[in-house]
Every structure is written in C-alpha cells, then in structure tokens.
Structure 1
Amino acid sequence: RDFFPLFYSAWQSAFQEKTILKAFEATGLSPFNPQVILQRFTTSTPLASLSDSDSSTISTSDWRKIERLLRQVVDDRGNKQVKRLSQVLHSNSVQNALLKHEVMSLREALVNERTRRKRGKALPLLEPEEYNGGAIVWSPRKVREARSQQQQQKLEEEQQKLQKAEAKRLRGDNRQAKAEAVQLRRQARAEARLLREKERAERAERAADQASRAAAHRTNQR
C-alpha cells in the first residue's frame, strides 16, 4: 500500500522538464556542444583553475563534482590506485544518496501510516459479486449498515477487552487467596507444633517432679 506513493513521488522527481533538459545538455546534444564530451578526455588541468572548488563545500552525494575535482588534482588517470579511488568515491556517493532517499521514503511512509490511523478503520463494505474493478458508489443504506456493523464490532471488541481484564483480575484474586490460605495453614501447623512441644515439656516436667518427690519420700522413710 506504500508502493504507489513512493513510486509516484520518485516518478515526479525524475520526469521533470529541467531534468530531461540537463540530461541532453550533459551529453552535448541540446544545445549541440561536442566540447562537453571532449573536455572529459583532456590530459591535464592546471591547479590554479580550481578557483572556487578548493574553497567551496562539496556534498558527498555530488559524485560528479568529486570526480571532476579528482581529475583536476591527479595527472595520471590511468593509475590503478586512482581508478580504484574514483570507484570508491562513486560507490560511497551512490550509497549515501540511496540511504538519504530510503530515510525520506520511510519518513513519508510513517507519516502516511499515522494519517491513515487517525482517519480510523475502513467501513466493512463488501464488493459485489459482479465487481470487475473500478470505482464503486455505495448507497446511503449500505453505508449506514456498514457503520452500524462497525460500531457493533467495536462494542464487541471493547466487551472482550473488559472480559479479559476481569478474568485477569479474578485470576490474580484467586492466586492471592490461595497464597493466603497456604500461609494460614503453615501458621496453624506451626502453632500446633509449638503447642505439642509445650505439652510434652509440661508432661516431662511433671514426671520429673513426681520422681523427685518419690525419691525424697523414700529417703525420709529410711
């Protein structure tokens, strides 16, 4: 759905009168000027002719200016290192231009998506069985029915969300209740264990007291 806006924008940018005229001018066809091509094969260019080129800022995407500047400062154009440098500059320039275009396209697609979301969902209007393409004119009754169906669907979705939220809350309450019950059972078992230990200690203490009294009684009888 984002293809046509991007394609149409690129098509409008590429197929412009000034772009076409520049293409003819760059090849020396219109206006007719063979020197445009011949001057590319000149052997050397004085460094003094750099004039504004050495002081002006050159964009990394303008590979033609970079190539022209390279030809002005390098005499031996047949050198392999020079050719490789030219290729690297050209490749980096193209990649930079592509990345800029991609960023612009992604931003435009993001803006279109946000705009589409703000407009809301499309009405659930079904195409007729005999539809063969082209524009469809819907009757006011069909539009009202579609809006009513969309509103009903929206209410059902909201109801489902509320039901899911309530079910989640109940699950949380059940987990909390189970945890509290487990804690109460642990506490009851701990209290029962303490009570048994206390009773056992009291019985042991009574038995020891009785044994002590019996031993004292036997001693007195002797």
Structure 2
Amino acid sequence: MKNPYRGLGLAYEGLGPTRRSGASGFSGATKALGPSRPRGFGVLENPEAAGFPGTANQVRRVPQCGLAQNMATVVISNDTDLLQLVNESTDVYADRGKKSIAYNVDTVISRFGVAPHSMVDFKAITGDSSDNIPGLFGVGPKTAAKLIAQYGDIECIVQQEASITPAKLREKIAANHDLLLRNKQLITLRRDVPRGYTLPDLTVVGPQYRGLRAIDVLASTGYL
C-alpha cells in the first residue's frame, strides 16, 4: 500500500561558500543568486545548482526517504544535475512550458543514452556550463554515452584508458584524469546532508497552497 502522505517542499540556493567553492579550478555557478534568497529547505520548486548545501543536496534526501517508505516522489527542476535522482519511484519534471519534459528512467535513457545513475559520469565528461563545470574538450554526448556503456563509470574509464580508441580520445582522457574525477565529485549530490524535517512536515493542507506554481504543475501533469 502506498504511503498516504502527499507533501511538497521547496529548496532554495543561498549565498556564501559551499563545498564546491574550495574545489581546485572551480569558479562557481553562472546562475544569478538573488540577494534575498534564503538558504534552506521548505518545497521542491526549482532547486538550482546541484551540490550547494541546503539546496539540491536537501532535495536528494526526499526521494531517498520516499523510496524507503514506498512513496512516489516528483522533483520539479530544470537542472539536469538532478536527473541522477531518477529511479523507479522518483521522476524529475523539467517545467519549460510547451517544451516541458517528465523524466523517468526510460526517458533519461532515451534522451541521454545512459541510465540515471550514470548521469554523474555523463556530465563529468560533457561538463555543465550552467555550473561552470568544464567537460572534456571536443567530446560530445554520444561519445560520452559510448564510453559509459563500454566501461561503466569515470573510474573505470581512467583505469582502462589504454584500451580506448581512437588514439586522440585516449590521449584526451589520459591528460585529464584530475578533471574527470573532480567533475564527478562536484556533480554527485551528497546523501548525508541533515534533513531537519520529517515527511509529514511536507504534507500539503490548507488554502495557502492554492495557486502555487508547483501545485499547478503537478496537478496539470497528473502527478496530483
């Protein structure tokens, strides 16, 4: 039986240093941060910049808890970093008007050529311009997907680079071990961030939620 809770949470990115700030060569996200944006968690609506404490990392805990309690989870975000969260009970909905996409496991595989759990490796290779994470120069999504299909993950790609063809691709990987491993570390959402709330705290009740964009999106797409 499905868990009866039906909740909603909103994650904000905040100002100040993050775990990415101290990463060698990382210059910070290109997304503008409003001066009054609070850091913390209260509803999952547009949690930008995965990896910032109190934001996307907080979002990561909701699907984790939902899966443990047999509860479906939907994350509303245009940040493709969050596609690593997709699993059998968690969808990511990219709210882009007429071009909106509901990502489940099959949709991620169809669009990117890799399973959701491999999106961290995929983005480590291709990079993420919105977060100023440079990819492997000249290596596109198709080549990244092929490497992951053949070798599994960044660590195996680095360890088995001698067998990679063509030679130019092998040379690029050999020259960028640190970049690839650092990228994966930055892109991977942490699972140990304290939640500071329980799932019942996110229950949607009362008229104050009427007209909230997240509620409208979930209702219009059949999630509610």
User: TM-score, normalised to structure 1's length?
Assistant: 0.23
> Where is the strand percentage greater, Structure 1 or Structure 2?
2
Greater relative contact order: 1 or 2 (C-alpha under 8 angstroms, separation 6 or more)?
A: 2
> Where is the helix percentage greater, Structure 1 or Structure 2?
1
Q: Bigger radius of gyration, 1 or 2?
A: 1
User: TM-score, normalised to structure 2's length?
Assistant: 0.23
